[in-house]
Amino acid sequence: MRVTDERLSLTAPSNRQLRADGGGRRTDGTGSDGPTCPNSLIVVSNRQPYRHEYDTAASTAGSDRPATTADAATGTDETVPESTDETDTRPITVDEPTGGLTAGLDPVLQQAAGTWIAWGDGDADFDVTDEHDCVAVPPNDPSYTLQRIALSDEAIDSYYYGFSNRVLWPLCHGFTDLVETRSNDFEWYRTVNERFAEAVREHATADSVVWLQDYHFALASQMIRDRVPQSTTVAQFWHIPWPTSTTFQHCPAGRTLLEGLLGNDLLGFHVDRYAERFLDCVHRYLPAADVDWDRRTVTSGEQTTRVVATPMGIDAESYDQDARSVSASQRSSLFDRYDIARENVIGLGVDRLDYTKGIPERLAAVERFLEWNPSSHGEFTFVQTATPSRTDIPAYERYGEFVRSEVERINQRFGTQAWNPIVYTEDYLSAAELCALYRRADLMIVSPLVDGMNLVAQEYVASSVDGDGMLLLSQGTGAHETLGSHALTIDPTDTDGVARQLERALSLSPAERHLRMNTLRKRVFDGNLEWWMTAQFDWIRRVRNETLRDDATRVADSDAEREFDSNSEADSDSDPDSDSDFDPYERTSSV
Ligand code: GDG
C-alpha cells in the first residue's frame, strides 16, 4: 500500500533565518514591514508573551502551565537574566511564545512600542517587574511594556478554570451538558475582568487602541469603556465559536456578558456565522439595543459596536520554511522515538486534548477503515499527538482517559508484534518536530465537532511543501469556510462517512492531490497571520474614524446648542420682558 510519490529531499536550504526552536520569529528584521496598528496599542490577553521562571526542576513542578501543554506553547529563550531579588540567586529563564497569536502580535507590539497586559503565571514573573508590575520586553531588546496581573490561586481556579473554561468554553462550543456552574466563579470572573480594566485605565490615553483577546474578557470592554476617554478605541477578538441563541439562553449571566461585549467599538469573529449568531443573541436578549443587520452594527445608548468576521491565519511562511529545513536525520530520530515505520502510509492528527476536537470520532473512523481494508494492516499508521490541557477540569480528565482507552482497544484489536495501527503521544513536540510530521504525513484528519477556526489544518497545508498531502477537514471548523472546497469534507459524527473519505484520500491520483493542495496552499498563504492583523487594524482605523466623526458631530451639535443658549441668554438679558422659565430645547425643536 503506497500513496507517497518519490518525495523531495528534506534538506532544502532555508532562505530565511529562523529561531532555532522554529518558533516562526523572524530574526532578519523582515518583520518590521508587517502590519501596523493605528495609534498606541494596548493588548489584553490571558496568556502573556514572555514568562519568567526560576531555572530549577521545582519551578516547572509548581507551575500550572507545564511545558507539555499546547495551551502553553512556549520555547525557552537562551537568555538567562539575573534575579532582581537579592535573597534569591537562582537564575531566571524566559519562555517565549512559539506560535499563533502571541508570536504574531509580539513584533507588532515591538514596532508600536505598546503595552501588553496579561496574567503573570511564571514563578519569577514578579521578581523582575517594577513597582507597577511592569517589565520591558523582549528581554534582549526591550521595546514595549508587559504589565503582569497577579492572580491568586482562588482567582485562577474560579476565573480561568471556572467561568472561562467550565462555562463559556463548553457553552460556546455547544456542549451545554458540560457546563458546570459553581458558586463564586462568575463573581471572580467579574473581579478579574475589573482588575484588567483598571490596568488598562492606567495606560490608556485618548489616542489609544485597546485590543482584547478572547472569551476570558467578556465583561472587560464595557468596564474599560467606562474608565477611558471617549475617543479611546476598544476592540476585541473572540477566538472561539459564538453559539446559537437557543444555546446561549443557557448561559449564566448571559445578558450581562452581551452588555459587556457591547463596550467594544469593534468585535471580531473568525467567520460570518458566529458574527450573525452574536447579533441574533443581542436582538433576542437585549431588546433595547438596535441591531443593524446590513451594517452589522449594534447601537446601545451612545455606543455603537461593529461586528466583523475576519478569519485568522498563521505565519504560513515560517511553517513552510521549517518544513523545508527539517533534516533527514531529525525526521529519522523522530520516527525512531515513536516507533513509526518510515515506509508506511502516515495519517496524522494534532490537537490539544480537548473534548471539542473530535479525537474519539477520528479514532472510530480509523478503526472502521482498518475493518474495511485488511490490506492496510501493517502498512498504514495513524499518528495522533494530543497535548493535555486544562487537566484540573474533570471533563478534560475523563476525555483523556477515554481517548487513551480507545487507542489501546484499537491497537489491541488490530496490532501485531511488529505494528500498531495507532501511534499515540501526549508529548509536546517542538515546532520543528511538528513540521517534520506535517510534511511527512500523507494525510491529516482534522475532525473537531466545532472549532472557532482551527490553526492545525492551516499549519498542515503550509508545511505540505511537496504539495501532495491530503486534508480531511470537519465541516464544524471555521477553517472549513476557506479550505472546505479543496479539502475532503467530513462530518466527524458520521464514522462510515469519514472512513470513506479516508479511503478516497488514499486513492486520489497524484495530479488531483497536487491540484487540491496547491489551491489550499494559496488560500493559507493569502490569508496568513499578517493579512489577518492588517484586516483587524484596518477595521480598527475605520471604526475609530467613525467614532471620531460621531464625536465631532456630537461636539458640533452641543457647541451649536451652547451658542444658541448663550444667544438666548443674551436675548433674555436684553429683554426685560422675557420668560425666566424659557426652555431652549422647546425653541430648538420648534425652529
Ligand atoms: C483556539 C480556538 C482557533 C498542538 N500540539 C502541539 C502544538 N500545538 C499547537 C498547534 C496549534 C495550536 O496548538 C492549536 O491551535 P488550534 O487553532 O488548533 O486550537 P485551539 O488551541 O483550541 O485554539 C481555535 C485558535 O484559538 C486561534 O484563534 O483557531 O478555533 O479553539 O498552533 O500547532 N504545537 C507544538 N507542539 C505540539 O505538540 N509546537
Please name the residue whose Cα sits nearest to atom 23 of ligand 1: 454
Length of the chain equals: 591
Distance CA 106, CA 9 (A): 33
The whole-angstrom distance between residue 393's C-alpha and the CA centroid of its chain comes to 20
In the reported structure, the alpha carbon of residue 71 is separated from the centroid of ligand 1 by a whole-number distance in angstroms of: 8
Residue 589 sits at φ, ψ, to 5 deg, of: -70, -25
- 3 state SS for 508-526: CCHHHHHHHHHHHHHHHHH
At residue 554, the pLDDT reads 67
| pLDDT band with cut points at 50, 70 and 90 for residue 555 | low
pLDDT at 74: 35
What is the model's pLDDT at position 55?
87
Ligand 1 centre distance from Cα of residue 455 (Å): 6
Of ligand 1's listed atoms, the one at least distance from the Cα of 314 is 32
Task: Give tens-digit pLDDT for 119-165.
Answer: 999 999 999 999 999 999 999 999 999 999 999 999 999 999 999 99
3-class state of residue 388 by DSSP: strand
Q: Residue 589 pLDDT > 50, yes or no?
A: no
Give the mean pLDDT of the chain: 85
d(C-alpha 74, C-alpha 254), whole Å: 34
pLDDT in tens, 26-72: 333 333 457 776 668 999 999 999 999 998 754 444 443 433 333 43
pLDDT at residue 560 tops 80: no
pLDDT above 50 (res 445)? yes
Name the pLDDT band for 112 (thresholds 50, 70, 90).
confident
350 SS3 class:
strand
> Ligand 1 atom closest to Cα of 478?
30
Does residue 224 carry a pLDDT above 60? yes
What residues have CB less than 8 Å from 16, skipping those under 6 apart? 26, 28, 30, 317, 321
Looking at the predicted structure, is the pLDDT value of residue 583 above 90?
A: no
Where do the domains of the chain lie, and which CATH numbers do they carry?
41-52+92-309 (3.40.50.2000), 316-527 (3.40.50.2000)
Rounded-to-10 torsion of CA 412, 417, 421, 426: 80
Once rounded to an integer, what is the mean pLDDT over residues 217-227?
98
Evaluate: CB of 428 within 6 angstroms of ligand 1.
yes
pLDDT digits (tens, 9 = 90+) for 499-524: 999 999 999 999 999 999 999 999 99
| Local structure of residue 233 (DSSP, 8 states) | E
Q: How are beta strands 233-237 and 266-269 bridged, if at all? A: parallel
Counting from 1 in the atom list of ligand 1, the atom nearest the Cα of 452 is 30
Q: Is 240 in the pocket of ligand 1 (CB under 6 A)?
A: yes
Residue 104: which pLDDT band, with cuts at 50, 70 and 90?
Answer: confident
Residue 350 beta carbon below 6 angstroms from any ligand 1 atom: yes
pLDDT at 441 over 90: yes
Per cent of the chain over pLDDT 70 is 82
Residue 463 has pLDDT above 80, yes or no: yes
Residue 308 has pLDDT above 90, yes or no: yes
pLDDT surpasses 90 at 586? no
Ligand 1 close to Cβ of residue 352 (< 6 A): yes
C-alpha 459 to ligand 1 mean position (Å): 10
Residue of the CA atom closest to atom 19 of ligand 1: 454
Q: Which residue has the least CA distance to atom 8 on ligand 1? A: 70
**What is the average per-residue pLDDT within 363-381?**
98
Distance, in Å, from the CA atom of 101 to the CA atom of 224, rounded to the nearest integer, reads 22
Cα torsion 154, 159, 161, 163 to 10°: value is: 130
Contact between 257 and 251 (Cβ < 8 Å) = yes
- Does residue 474 have its Cβ closer than 6 Å to ligand 1? no
pLDDT digits (tens, 9 = 90+) for 228-259: 999 999 999 999 999 999 999 999 999 999 99
Reported as a pLDDT band with limits 50, 70 and 90, residue 581 is very low
Mind listing the pLDDT tens digit for each residue in 284-306? Answer: 999 999 999 999 999 999 999 99
Decide whether any atom of ligand 1 lies within 6 Å of the 312 Cβ.
yes
At 101 the pLDDT is 80
Helix (H) or strand (E) holding 471: strand 470-474
pTM of the model: 0.86
How does pLDDT run across 176-208, given as a tens digit for each residue? 999 999 999 999 999 999 999 999 999 999 999
Q: Is 455 in the pocket of ligand 1 (CB under 6 A)?
A: yes
How far CA 159 is from CA of 186, 187, 550, in Å, comes to 7, 8, 36
Q: Among 338-342, 369-373, 563-567, 575-579, where is mean pLDDT lowest? A: 575-579
